[in-house]
């Protein structure tokens, strides 16, 4: 495929935007080459500035569960925009989507809308600290909760060592209150809690990881975290920015039957517009201003366009529970097809899948945490990425990202994707 126009646009963008992009992974640094500039999208397809059609497997990193430019969502936004785009005042639609979300998700009484997943996770941690009156948090290596300072922490010298900043601009003072644990390692978490007895406000986790590839929790891991939190008066936060309203109507809490104390949302809940949310039982949420002392605010929070898109999206998912079964079956079909090709071609690989999230790791060992994900052959992934792109298939430009499947994909699209894998692996 030819990408002259995209390359030219990238050169122009770099003159006025740092790195030419407004989010780093878009720059193709992990895979090489110039990023693709999208002109429009419809259903399961992207159409770039050079006129190429691509089958899309990132779907705006998750929210397009029903496909791009889904008519009910688009129509809802257009209708709302005609009446004004922002007021900075309460609107009825905020209550409507809040009522629907609370009815769909188990174990929550109230929800507050913000403008991004980062803001939702940042607010959830602040709320947890305010509620428990404790400062420290536990997060997991490889789990991404946005770019708030508390979350940009890498591993220290041992399991109970304080974290150190992973980005310039994050202070040591912030880092000292973030403790880093290993995903899917309950004993590691327990040892950190024992070493910081009475000081930990919350554990925040992607209950299904999506930022080191798709990594589901091993049996008993989430249940174990719930028990540890109960035993030590720690709040458990599920970051369901990716998984909420995607893996099930009620997200991972419903799918796996484990309750969190606070849940964060994004992606699907906004129907593709910038939005996030965090929710909990009433006792916790009532600690937020104006009812309680924990301050959180946002001029564009509850923006009517985002609320209209989100309400249209959630309404369709709520009214048609068969969507989740359909999309899960498509993901399973893709999984089996890709696995068969890679096995026949004797390509070393591991495929992780849960619901409509899937990732291909070029590793011979099970991928269960960040350390095992990092063992994958990145050079093979780079070749695989560009080979698939040349066949008209767009996957995440990083070995550490999940693929998101959309209901708009047809089985012909899935077959075309499997054929593209067969052609691509010949050159690996």
Please report, for the domain that includes residue 406, its CATH number. 3.90.1150.10
List the catalytic residue out of 80, 134, 136, 267. 267
On whether both 134 and 165 belong to a single domain, the answer is yes
Q: What is the mean pLDDT of residues 165-177?
A: 76
Whether 144 is catalytic: yes
On whether both 314 and 266 belong to a single domain, the answer is yes
Whether 267 is catalytic: yes
pTM: 0.95
> Residues for the chain: how many in total?
428
On whether both 127 and 226 belong to a single domain, the answer is yes
On whether both 291 and 215 belong to a single domain, the answer is yes
Whether 139 is catalytic: no
On whether both 78 and 53 belong to a single domain, the answer is no
List the catalytic residue out of 56, 239, 328, 369. 239
Report the CATH number at residue 215: 3.40.640.10
On whether both 26 and 52 belong to a single domain, the answer is yes
On whether both 337 and 305 belong to a single domain, the answer is no
On whether both 124 and 154 belong to a single domain, the answer is yes
Taking the C-alpha atoms of residue 135 and residue 137, their distance in angstroms, rounded to an integer, is 7
Convert the pLDDT of each residue in 226-266 to its tens digit.
999 999 999 999 999 999 999 999 999 999 999 999 999 99
On whether both 243 and 391 belong to a single domain, the answer is no
On whether both 79 and 55 belong to a single domain, the answer is no
Looking at the predicted structure, is the pLDDT value of residue 133 above 70? yes
Q: What's the domain count of the chain? A: 2
- Determine how many CB atoms are found less than 10 A away from the CB of residue 229: 21
On whether both 299 and 406 belong to a single domain, the answer is no
**Residues 3 and 34: beta-carbon distance below 8 Å:** yes
Taking the C-alpha atoms of residue 116 and residue 122, their distance in angstroms, rounded to an integer, is 10
List the catalytic residue out of 144, 183, 249, 328. 144
Which of 270, 298, 319 is a domain's end point?
A: 319
Exposed/middle/buried for residue 313 (C-beta within 10 Å: 0-12, 13-18, 19+):
buried
Under DSSP, is residue 299 helix (H, G, I), strand (E, B) or coil?
Answer: coil
Convert the pLDDT of each residue in 313-370 to its tens digit.
999 999 998 999 999 999 999 999 999 999 999 999 999 999 999 999 999 999 999 9
Domain range enclosing 37: 4-69+321-425
Query: In percent, how much of the chain has pLDDT > 90?
Result: 90
Which of 319, 349, 375 is a domain's end point?
A: 319
């Amino acid at each position: 495929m030819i990408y002259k126009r995209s390359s030219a646009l990238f050169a122009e963008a770099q003159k006025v935007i740092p790195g030419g992009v407004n989010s780093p992974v878009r720059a193709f640094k992990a895979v090489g080459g110039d990023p693709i500039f999208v002109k429009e999208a419809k259903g399961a397809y992207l159409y770039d500035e050079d006129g190429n059609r691509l089958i899309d497997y990132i779907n705006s990193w998750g929210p397009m569960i029903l496909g791009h430019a889904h008519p009910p969502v688009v129509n809802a936004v257009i209708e709302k925009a005609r009446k004004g785009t922002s007021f900075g005042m309460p609107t009825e639609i905020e209550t409507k989507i809040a009522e629907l979300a609370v009815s769909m998700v188990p174990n929550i009484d109230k929800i507050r809308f913000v403008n991004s997943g980062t803001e939702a996770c940042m607010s959830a941690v602040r709320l947890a600290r305010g509620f428990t009156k404790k400062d420290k948090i536990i997060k997991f290596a490889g789990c991404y909760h946005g770019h708030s300072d508390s979350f940009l922490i890498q591993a220290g010298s041992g399991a109970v060592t304080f974290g150190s900043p992973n980005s310039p601009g994050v202070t040591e003072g912030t880092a000292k209150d973030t403790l880093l644990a290993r995903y899917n390692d309950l004993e590691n978490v327990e040892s950190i809690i024992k070493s910081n007895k009475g000081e930990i406000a919350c554990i925040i986790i992607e209950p299904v990881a999506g930022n080191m590839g798709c990594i589901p929790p091993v049996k008993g891991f989430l249940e174990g975290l719930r028990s540890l939190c109960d035993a030590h008066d720690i709040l458990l936060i599920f970051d369901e920015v990716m998984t909420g309203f995607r893996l099930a109507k009620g997200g991972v809490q419903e799918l796996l039957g484990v309750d969190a104390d606070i849940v964060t949302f994004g992606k699907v809940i906004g129907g593709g517009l910038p939005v996030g949310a965090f929710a909990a039982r009433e006792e916790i949420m009532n600690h937020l201003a104006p009812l309680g002392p924990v301050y959180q605010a946002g001029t564009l929070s509850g923006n009517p366009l985002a609320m209209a898109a989100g309400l249209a999206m959630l309404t369709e998912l709520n009214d048609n529970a068969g969507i989740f079964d359909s999309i899960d079956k498509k993901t399973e079909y893709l999984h089996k097809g890709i696995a068969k090709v890679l096995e026949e071609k004797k390509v070393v690989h591991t495929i992780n899948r849960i619901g409509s999230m899937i990732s291909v790791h070029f590793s011979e060992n099970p991928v269960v945490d960040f350390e095992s994900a990092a063992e994958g052959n990145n050079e093979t992934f780079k070749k695989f990425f560009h080979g698939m792109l040349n066949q008209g298939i767009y996957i995440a430009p990083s070995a550490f990202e999940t693929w998101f499947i959309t209901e708009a994909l047809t089985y012909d699209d899935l077959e075309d994707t499997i054929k593209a894998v067969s052609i691509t692996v010949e050159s690996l």
